[in-house]
Amino acid sequence: MNRHAAAVVLGALALAGCASLEPAAFRGFQSTVAAGHQAMERELARDVEWTREADAQVLATDKDAALSALTLKGPGDNGWAPDNPPAHWTARRTLDTLRAMNGAFGAYAALLTDLADGRDVEEDAVDAVGEDLNDAARDARRALGELRPADRATAAGGAAFAAESLRRCLRARRAGKLADALRENQPLAAAHGALGRALVDIVRADLKAAYADQAAAIHEKWNDKRSPGRITLGRSLFNLNDEFSAAMASLDDLAIFYDHLPAAHADLRARLLKERTAGPAARAWGRSAGAAARRARTLEASR
């Protein structure tokens, strides 16, 4: 075989190797992760807003409330904070934790896409993603344990990022190496899904309580015959109902998103090994993230 023919064969083999990495599947995984994460952050931001309003209403009706307990003190271990943090303050800190957790996992999904696409990736970038993932997961587990002690089992179920498996991908970009990395990091995807689902349940409970408080405040004014503006009160209730029902539907979709995220991650490995195409769990996962993101965008546009 002459040099030209050998070069053609080697080039064809290289292209075949790249094609075997299923880059489109990884790009789809990355975009779905981003859509689901964005929708979850919007729902938790709504939780912050609603619990803040509920805290303000409680403060307004408590004539003996001590404002000194709600005044910021610090700086301390967690920066500036009140001595007795109200519910919305805790929700806001949880939102910051969620953003860090989602950002780190999103960077992991982007790293997988870069590897599948054949882009140049430095080992330092792999290490940085690993550090961010491990730090964010630790903070999220701590926050979850503080929010709901009943979820301490979920909070304790952390998984460390398997950086070495991805470093091997950098040295030999083959489907088998990337499949090994996905297998070794499957516990990480499972932990991310479990933490996300636990936060979905927390936000759902918070919004139900906040809805009840806000609806009760509207009813109290409605029953007061001296209260003017019953049309305004009616509109307020209808707007509250619209927002609450949309939030519950979005959280249902997000529960599916986080429940099926580990299966979607495992599906990437199966596709690399040509065991199957996208399974039903991965398809349901993609639909749920898209639906939640659309609802969140529609609601924000209507406010």
pLDDT score of 153: 46
pLDDT of residue 216: 87
91 falls within a domain: yes
The total of other beta-carbon atoms located within 10 Å of residue 13's CB is 10
Q: Is residue 129 part of a domain?
A: yes
Tell me whether residue 8 is in a domain.
no
List of residues 6+ apart from 51 with CB closer than 8 A: 86, 87, 88, 91, 206, 210
Residue 264 lies in a domain: yes
User: Which of 131, 115, 128, 108 has its CA nearest to residue 265?
Assistant: 108
> Could you read off the pLDDT tens digit of each residue along the chain, which spans 303 residues?
444 433 333 233 333 344 467 889 999 999 999 999 999 999 888 888 888 888 887 777 777 766 766 777 767 666 677 777 778 888 888 888 889 999 999 999 999 999 888 888 888 888 888 888 888 888 888 887 777 655 544 544 556 677 777 777 777 667 788 888 899 999 999 999 999 999 999 889 988 988 998 888 888 888 876 666 788 888 889 999 998 998 899 999 999 999 999 999 999 998 888 876 666 767 778 788 888 888 777 766 666
Q: State in Å, rounded, how far the first CA of the chain is from the last one.
A: 70
- How many distinct structural domains can be found in the chain? 1
Task: Return the H-helix or E-strand segment holding 16.
Answer: helix 3-19
pLDDT for position 17? 41
| Inside any domain, residue 60 | yes
Residue 191 lies inside a defined structural domain of this protein: yes
Range of the domain at 211: 23-302
267 token code pair: 């599906």
List Cβ neighbours of 221 (8 Å cut-off, separation of 6 or more): 227, 233
Nearest CA to 51 out of 41, 62, 43 is that of: 43
The verdict on whether omega for the bond into residue 262 sits within 30 degrees of 0, i.e. cis, is no
Residue 39 falls within a domain, yes or no?
yes
d(CA 99, CA 200): 14
DSSP code, position 69: G
**pTM of the complete model beyond 0.85:** no
pLDDT of residue 22: 83
Mind giving me the DSSP string for 102-166?
HHHHHHHHHHHHHHHHT----HHHHHHHHHHHHHHHHHHHHHHHHH-GGGHHHHH------HHHH
What's the rounded Cα separation, in Å, for the pair 128 and 207? Answer: 35
What pLDDT is attached to residue 74?
67
Per-residue confidence (pLDDT) for residue 148, from 0 to 100: 64
| pLDDT value at residue 264 | 92
Tell me if 182 is assigned to some domain. yes
